């Protein structure tokens, strides 16, 4: 099963805020022997978000969508998800109860009466309006839930809320997948080679060793190695040694200088 990530918000694309989701989700997945297959950034444009979410629902991947699930005019994720699915938006009863519980908590903290029919409190219930058939994702930070439809999961844009919610899904619903993406890498620093010259070798290694990916990471100004290419293979631990031996043997026969070898 692949994992994908959607990060929503004009503020990310404009540079007003720096994205903190991509690196953290990669970290959370990696710690569990999983990996991120793809990521997309999308602004607060409902049509573009609908198209992005339609692709996510059709992918069959596990997808985390961060941001845009509030109830202000620039929040479009809930509406776009419903449009992508072709279902109506409805107030989720469990979400309603949690939002009302949060409003009561705030009233107690502020020493004010809880007034559920006050206009601002009625408006807050919109945060529990989800596509029909959605399930809630508990939010340990402030009880305002996210929601899931199939394998696509919607959490707030605030990292302090989003990351624990994603982590709970990984350790609950997807615990059985832990370790299923774990890979090993072996590589070597190559001096004096060119990617165009090395490409036939890379293609041959991949063809001869199914399940292996060959990678090339060129650098022109590395502080330690200067101009070089890091060339290597990655895949399941059982498959990597033979593929790397094939790569290394061919490189030694070429007119290149080899530097340090690395295992990750």
Sign of dihedral through CA atoms 30, 34, 39, 43?
negative
Amino acid 255: pLDDT: 84
Return d(Cα 166, Cα 164) in angstroms, integer.
5
Rg, Å, the chain Cα set? 24
CA dist 19 and 13 (Å) reads 9
C-alpha distances in Å from residue 225, one per residue of 60, 189, 228, 254, 259: 42, 8, 7, 20, 9
Q: Do domains 3-177 and 184-263 have the same CATH topology?
A: no
CA distance 199 to 18: 36
Q: Which two tokens mark 93?
A: 């009863």
SS3 state at 185: strand
CB 164 within 8 A of CB 177: no
Judged on CB neighbours under 10 Å (0-12, 13-18, 19+), 37 is middle
Q: Which two tokens stand for residue 69?
A: 């699930």
Burial 106-115 (b: 16+ CB within 10 A, else e): eeeeeeeeee
Domain ranges of the chain: 3-177, 184-263
Helices (H) and strands (E) in the chain, counts: 9, 12
If one looks up domain 184-263 in CATH, what number appears?
3.30.70.2520
H-helix or E-strand spanning residue 164: helix 159-171
DSSP strand pairing (62-66 vs 152-155):
parallel
The per-residue pLDDT for 122 is 95
CA distance 85 to 89: 10
Digitized pLDDT (tens) for each residue of the chain, 264 residues in all: 899 999 999 999 999 999 999 999 999 999 999 999 999 999 999 999 999 999 999 999 999 999 999 999 999 999 999 999 999 999 999 999 999 999 999 999 999 999 999 999 999 999 999 999 999 999 999 999 999 999 999 999 999 999 999 999 999 999 999 999 999 999 999 999 999 999 999 999 999 999 999 999 999 999 999 999 999 999 999 999 999 999 999 999 998 999 999 999
Class of the 3-177 domain?
Answer: alpha beta
């Amino acid at each position: 099963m692949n994992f994908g990530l959607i990060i929503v918000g004009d503020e990310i694309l404009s540079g007003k805020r720096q994205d903190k989701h991509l690196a953290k989700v990669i970290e959370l997945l990696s710690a569990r022997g999983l990996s991120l297959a793809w990521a997309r950034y999308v602004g607060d444009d409902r049509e573009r978000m609908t198209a992005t979410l339609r692709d996510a629902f059709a992918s069959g991947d596990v997808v985390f969508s961060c941001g845009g699930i509030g109830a202000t005019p620039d929040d479009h994720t809930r509406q776009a998800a419903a449009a992508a699915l072709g279902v109506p938006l409805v107030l989720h009863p469990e979400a309603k109860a949690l939002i009302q519980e949060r409003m009561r908590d705030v009233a107690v903290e502020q020493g004010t009466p809880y007034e559920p029919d006050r206009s601002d409190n009625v408006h807050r219930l919109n945060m529990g309006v989800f596509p029909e058939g959605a399930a809630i994702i508990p939010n340990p930070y402030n009880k305002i839930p996210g929601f899931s439809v199939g394998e696509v999961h919607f959490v707030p844009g605030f990292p302090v809320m989003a990351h624990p919610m994603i982590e709970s899904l990984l350790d609950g619903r997807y615990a059985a997948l832990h370790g299923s993406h774990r890979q090993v890498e072996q590589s070597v620093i190559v001096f004096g080679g060119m990617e165009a010259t090395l490409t036939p070798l890379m293609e041959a290694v991949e063809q001869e060793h199914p399940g292996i990916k060959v990678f090339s990471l060129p650098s022109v100004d590395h502080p330690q190695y200067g101009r070089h290419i890091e060339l290597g293979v990655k895949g399941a631990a059982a498959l990597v040694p033979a593929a790397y031996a094939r790569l290394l043997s061919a490189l030694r026969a070429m007119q290149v200088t080899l530097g340090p070898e690395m295992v990750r």
